[in-house]
Chains A and B, each alone.
Chain A
Amino acid sequence: MLKYFCKRVIMMFPIILGISFIIFSILNLTPGDPVTIILGDTATPEAKEALREQLGLNGGFFVRYFRYVINALHGNFGQSYRSGLPVIEELMARIPVTFRLSIVGIGIVICIGIPIGIISAIRQYSLLDNVCVAGALIIASMPVFWLGLMLIMIFSLKLNMFPATGTGTWKNYVLPAITNSAIGVATLVRMTRSSMLESMRQDYIRTAKAKGAGEAGIVIKHALKNALLPIVTIIGTNFAIMLSGAMITETVFALPGLGSLIVTGVRQKDTPVVIAAVIFIAVAISVINLIVDIIYTIIDPRLKSTLR
């Protein structure tokens, strides 16, 4: 078990390296010379060359890439072209906001999605079930930013219950968290429902009922535990979607998180910031997938034997 865990962690390093290489390559295709953008057209060639060396932009592609990796391992992700601040500082300032948003989001997804999915499965074909399934389909088909705007329209502008933008109190996080998690809730409701239905058709459920076990006991102890595997998969995928979807939510609600950092970085062609932020999110997602895999083996010990 520990051996598998170590093996997976070690395997993550080539993947992280691969991710950094791909992102670095893609963003190096950006046309335009950042040095000219920063210094302006009137700068002398010597000044440009000096800045190029300072920013690490001299040398061929692979030289620059290796330099980037070595620096990154020391925590140096370069300087922002716009603000001049070290990229790592900008990242660190933004990570807490995105982190808070994601944790609250995934909490909402789990606490609301799973119970509704279970109830929907137990009362299959009832009015409640049909409403839940239809609602889940509609919400999952909504664009995230539209949901955010509609929530702002209703709860901020008309009802004045929650603020629309900025950070400060917990109230600032309510609407963004709902926006972020709505689609996750919808997906989880559908998955929990189908997984529970599958689980409840099994013979061991029939045995438990025949032995006189109460409904609550059957649902929680037998059906849910066996339905958990696909549910955990979806939760993991949702966390990943939420992290990458933070770009949109944070832009709508003007939250200073990693997502909005990427968006402004792309708009302003601030390449070092974009590279570092995208790599950070991709790596965070890889870590989450690893944790999900570990949780699999805890939930279903039979999987331990399939571990290579």
Chain B
Amino acid sequence: MSGKNDNKQVTTYKKKSQLESIWFRYKKNRLAMVGLFMLAIMILLAVSAPLFADYQKDAVSQNMKLRYLEPSFVNGHIFGTDHYGRDVFARVIYGGRISLFVGLTSVIISALAGTTIGSVAGYYGGRVDNTLMRLMDVLLAIPQNLLAISIVAALGPGMFNLLIAMSVSGIPEFSRIVRASVLNIKNQEFVEAAVACGTNDARIIRKYIVPNAIGPLIVQATLAVAKAILSISALSFIGLGVSPPTPEWGSMLSEAKSDMRLYPYLVIIPGIAIMLSVVALNLIGDGLRDSIDPRLKN
């Protein structure tokens, strides 16, 4: 570099990668960090559920002698027991596994399928775009919940069918968002420059389009998991989701309906579990949105 022999300290600034900048901005958002913290605890509880309670003994098998115990720290059931003598805490954390698993998996599937459809439609345009989008328009005209319930109606209740219903009904929304993103990016100058240099399609998609489209996609996916958890519990509530005796927050509420008058804790506790998960995911989604593109902040 320089011919002079200098021992001076030179301050160099290491250029932050995009991920680091996003994390830096996210950390500054207190609410978003609260959301992340809440989600972390929930995931920890769900994953380590066997450490707290045994699935067969506590969550599923009935014990008529222990029915309707009030929540207390003394009798070993901090959330009490239900109609069948099952430990409510155990059911809540195992139910959390189901909600998080089905919610996350269905959103991942919808996002992958939706991204494929949306990016093909957005990038290639023309007749491909028209056909795909007409199909998506019709699917979008049917509300997501109705579409999911129609699929469950056809296939029958059960966790696997619920997963299929949730995945398929989420695809149109993702394809619409990704298509809009891709159309936006496609028209920018750096893509035009890449095409002018003779870069092939696959490389353009991989190096330019996907990294720029992934931001809004992640935000949407986070908010979609929140919506999915609400839908899963709603479908289970009306008996069209997970079948008993599998613990699920929605079906726990459905069973608690008849016990509302005397045992309100059976209604309050699962509801709070659902609410806290959704609040956490919403906070994270909003935080991600603000940190990925700070210009969008109000």
Contact = CB atoms under 8 A, between A and B. Distances in A.
Interface of A: 15, 18-19, 22-23, 26-31, 137-138, 140-146, 149-150, 152-153, 157, 194, 197-198, 240-241, 243-245, 247-248, 251, 262-263, 265-267, 269, 271, 274, 278, 281-282, 285-286, 289
Contacts of B151: 26
A282 B153 contact: no
Contact of A142 (B142, B267, B271): B271
12 contacts: A19-B138, A23-B142, A26-B153, A140-B282, A143-B274, A145-B234, A149-B257, A157-B261, A198-B298, A244-B144, A245-B145, A285-B143
Nearest to B139: A22
A267 B239 contact: yes
A7 to B, nearest CB: 15
A29 B154 contact: yes
A141 B275 contact: yes
B245 to A, nearest CB: 18
Interface of B: 134-135, 137-139, 141-147, 149-156, 226, 230, 233-234, 237-240, 250, 253, 256-257, 260-261, 264, 267-268, 270-271, 274-275, 278-279, 282-283, 298
Given A31-B156, A142-B275, A146-B275, A263 B142 contact: no
Contacts of B147: 26
B145 A247 contact: yes
The secondary structure that dominates the A interface is: helix
Given A18-B138, A23-B150, A274-B153, A150 B267 contact: yes
A119 B278 CA distance: 26
Contacts of B260: 149, 152-153, 157
Nearest to A282: B142
B278 A141 contact: yes
Contacts of A243: 143
A106 B256 CA distance: 30
Nearest to A147: B271
Nearest to A245: B145
Given A22-B139, A26-B151, A144 B146 contact: no
Contacts of A289: 141
Given A149-B256, A157-B261, 11 more contacts: A22-B139, A27-B150, A27-B154, A143-B230, A144-B234, A145-B250, A146-B275, A153-B267, A247-B145, A282-B146, A285-B143
A137 B271 contact: no
B81 to A, nearest CB: 19
A108 to B, nearest CB: 20
List the 8 shortest-distance A-B pairs measured between CB atoms, nearest first: A18-B138, A146-B271, A244-B143, A141-B278, A266-B153, A29-B154, A141-B279, A30-B154
